[in-house]
Structure 1
Amino acid sequence: MTMHSRGLLLLVSLCCTIITADQNNVNVAINKTYRQISTYPNTGAASNAADNNTAGTLGTKTCSHTGSTSEGVGIPPNVYHWWEVDLGRIYPVHNITVWARKEHNSDIFFDRLYPFIITVDNKTCVNVTSPTSNIIRSNSVTCSSVMYGQVVRLTLTETNRTLNLCEFQIFVCKEGFYGLDCSSPCDKNCDEGCNMTSGFCTRCKKGFWGPELCHHNCSAHCAGPTCQRDDGNCEECQPGFYGEGCSRACGYCQVNTTCHHQDGHCLAGCVSGFAEPLCLQVQVKQENWVVPVVGSLAAALLICIGLVAIVCWCRRSREETEENDQRVAPPVEPESTQDRDRPSSASPISDADTTVYGIIDKDDAEEMHVQEDNYADRALYMQLSPRASDEALLVNIELS
């Protein structure tokens, strides 16, 4: 393919794209409500600026014209002249074309249109200081971004100048197309078109859902053909189904009845043998003897626990008492050596003791009333007459 052929093909393709895009546009400024700061008598009505006629002559009443006071004389001083259109509802405003006035002598009244600012619901869309060409009356401008609004206003940015506006066009995409050039078709499942900028569906066709492009099918168990746009939940379920997307089957509800479409409980109760509220589990019947037997066992268990607690408490109390007695008992003093050597009255006296007593003078013994065969008297004698006892012990040692 030659270079000339490629250039021709590119030009044809570009022209076709432009034509297609133009066909998908629509001017929404026509047949709406119009206002302006003031009106030049007889020829300058505000509606002339959006009558779909771009001829641009004042005499044919195709242009708007400001400048008169309420009395019809002079230009209001220190005022910025403006013109506006109320679109009736919110549109995505982006592409705007303005047309200047031209008379039969080919003069273009650029000073009656420039410089200007366009606002959408009082927010700046674009600020234009001069025309793009000194010989072209139209000027296509775009907002800095797509702006959604209803009232679009053009205002001169210099005072004490009248405004002549011969056509004001706001182009948006036709229903079924979106994009800056309106060349993209909306999704096939969109109903009533789509967002002219993003392409998101305005509404979904019956049987479809999705937060953006309606690509999901509604559940087959929905009672109607539609479901909620954002999550696909059915507004009502077919009899016998409930839950999210009506995807869960009801339990064993009474014959010819159904369950609640949200929580699934049977509206008229369960068939015999199934437990409410969902009627999915088999109901277990309790015999009449079960409750008394279970109650008796529980009472016996409580009694046993009480007895064990009492026994443990009594044992613990006894042990604590014994421990306290041991703490308060006086200590036992150890025996002295003298006490250990001294014979007890209850202890038998050894032969050595007898020998001692045997050598004591009889008269002394009779005087002390000591009997030889009386162990208690002998002990008493030993306690009362330690000297005699010592002497006897000495004699006993010598004899031995």
Structure 2
Amino acid sequence: MTLNSWMYWVYLLHIVNIIRGHENLSRRNATSVSQSSDYRNQTAKYGIDGITTQTEYFCAHTAVNQSEAWFQVDLGEPFSLKTIRIVYRDEGYWRPYRFRYFYLDLSNSSVNGSTTTDRKRCYQDNTTVPDLPPSIINITCPFVARYVIVQNDYFGNDTHSTGPILEICEIEIFGCSINCNGECETTGYCAECNTNLWGENCIQSCPDHCNGGICNRTTGSCDFGCRNGTWGIFCNLTCSTNCADDVCEIKNGSCVNGCKGNFDGEKCEVCDAFHYGENCKESCGQGCINNTCFANNGTCSLGCVENFVYPKCNSEYHLMTKSHEETNKAPYIGVGIGVFLLLIFVLIGAIAVHRVFLKEKHLAAELVDCKRINPKIDINQPFLMTILESNYL
């Protein structure tokens, strides 16, 4: 194997390693190119046509006698770049003389919208006469940018210079979407997505509550769990507010660390066996068997212990009995008082009747005596009755 063929295979292996894991962004449909001027019809498009032949007519070529020469690749949007490969004109008899002192910049603004101080300088050639720069060069440039700019301001005093000129046969820009986490395939498909992203091109956002912002690359589901307070495959469901520590099972929403307060159940949505009422704040009756009751109304679920009164078993039986006895006596007392008052009224009535009877009896006796003493007296005279009655008032 000759030296030249050995070098070719070393170079080819190097290129394969560069390409592996990254896409040639120059070949994307959205990529466009331009240059400072055109020599004949050798426009900037020759620089990204996929032909790496290094003879003049296969290369983009800027015009002679210009004050500057630049070649720009617009990727259409920022990408995470890795390596840039430039293939320059080299025909054996025409070496890359005009490639001396070129520099490679990255920018998010076009060449006409930026200055060299605004850009990121990735490479600067410092080759001096009589030496020549390499006609094929691979430049590592791990930055994020939209524009790749090759520029040359060299005014050489050698016979091959007619002002700054660029003769770029092919430029290959290897990188991935800024949404990729590391490498991507040559098709641009991300091997892995950055945190919070998923989908083929890693352009879809993971659900807000995925643990650590990480979700399944293919489905967007939260495979690594949810942030506290949420559950479901996309962590879009809310845990019960009664879950302790606001943590619940991602698959079914059951409370992992138990319940707050007096709540119970898988999702802590019912009262425990010992409480009832709104927010489970009421305790079951002290006389409930096992201290348990129904959550909706506090009725003792197993009945009462001895001497307590169902349904809530809050009061003891003997206290309730005494209260009932006292309550039952009241009607009898009322009846007794009524009878007593009735007897008094009857007695008073009887006395009054008896007095009237005695009065009439005495009047009759008096009239008899008057008639006996004086037979001529008319006992039916009203004045005589009045006189006699006045004696009994």
Q: TM-score, structure 1 length as denominator?
A: 0.44
Larger Rg: 1
